[in-house]
Amino acid sequence: MSHYQLTASGIAFQTYGEGKPLVMLRGLGRNIRHWLGFDKRLASQYQIIVIDARGLGKTLKKMTFMTSLWDLAKDVKDVLDHLNITRAHILGVSLGGMVALAFGVKYAERCSSIIVLNTSIGGIRKLRIYPRVLGALGLAGIRNNSRIELDLIHFLVGGEVDSARKLELARIHQKIYETESPVTQVVIKQLLAAARFTPRKDLEKLKVKVLVVYGSDDRFVPQSNSEAIAQLIPCATVLRIDGAGHEISVDKADVLEDHLREWLNQDEKVFAPVQ
C-alpha cells in the first residue's frame, strides 16, 4: 500500500494496485480508513485511488459552509491530474456517490464509468434521509466524536448483521475517530452541500454509463432515491442487493465485490462516453 500523497491544493489520497484506474469515494464524515479493507479487494486487478474529502483524514484543505459538491468533484479531478490519469471509473458511496455524479456531469470525458451506492440527489421530491437518522446525527453531534458510531451503527448496516458484529464495527470505526479532529462541523457542512445538490437536469443529459446500486435494507437513505436517479440517467443500470444496508461494502462485501468485478470487467468500449 502506498503512503498518503497530497495534491498542490492539499487533497490527501492513496493509490495501490495495477490496472485500469478506479477512484473510490466515501460518504458522510468518512475518510479513507473507513473502507475497512474493501478498497484493497479490487487492487489485484485495478489501480485503486482513495481520497480524503475536504476537512477529513489527512486532507489539508478545509470544508467551508460555501463548499459545494461540485468543488469536491473538482478535487477528484485534481487528484487524477496529479497522477496524470486521463480517464477512470468513479465509485462513490452515499455522499461520495453525489460527488461521483457531479464529477460525471462536469468531466464526462474523464469517466470510464460511474458507480453510485445508496445515494440521493435533491429536486426529485424524494425523502433523502430518514428522519430518525437526523435525530441520531444530532445526538452524535452533541457528543462530538465520543460515540458517533454507537449512535449510528443500527442505521448503517442491514438487519442480517447480528448485534455482536454491529458492536465490533462501531468500535472499529470509533477508533478511527479517536485519532481524528472532531468531524461534527464537517458533517454539517457536507449535509448543507448535499442539500444544495440538485442536478436533475444535468443527469438527464449525462453521457456516461452509470451503475446505480442500493441495498434493500438501507435504513439511512430511502431506496426510492436510487430508482429515481436511474430513471433520470439515459445510460443507467440498476442493481438491488437484497439484505444489504447503507454500508453495502461491510454487510454484503462478497456480493458487492462480485458485482463490481462483473461491471468493471466489461469491455472498455462499453464505457466510452455516449455520443
Which 3-state string (H, E, C) describes 113-169? EEEEECCCCCCCCCCCCCHHHHHHHHHHHHHCCCCHHHHHHHHHCCCCCCHHHHHHH
Task: Copy the grid coordinates of residue 126.
Answer: 424524494
Please check whether residue 218 is in contact with residue 242, taking contact to mean a CB–CB distance below 8 angstroms.
Answer: no
Write down the CATH number for the domain with range 5-271.
3.40.50.1820
Cβ neighbour number for residue 231 with a 10 Å cutoff: 13
- Tens-binned pLDDT, residue by residue, of the chain (275 aa): 468 999 999 999 999 999 999 999 999 999 999 999 999 999 999 999 999 999 999 999 999 999 999 999 999 999 999 999 999 999 999 999 999 999 999 999 999 999 999 999 999 999 999 998 887 777 665 555 556 677 788 899 999 999 999 999 988 988 887 777 668 889 899 999 999 999 999 999 999 999 999 999 999 999 999 999 999 999 999 999 999 999 999 999 999 999 999 999 985 555 555 55
Please check whether residue 85 is in contact with residue 161, taking contact to mean a CB–CB distance below 8 angstroms.
Answer: no
Determine the Cα–Cα distance for residues 39 and 4; give it in Å rounded to an integer: 15
Confidence (pTM): 0.94
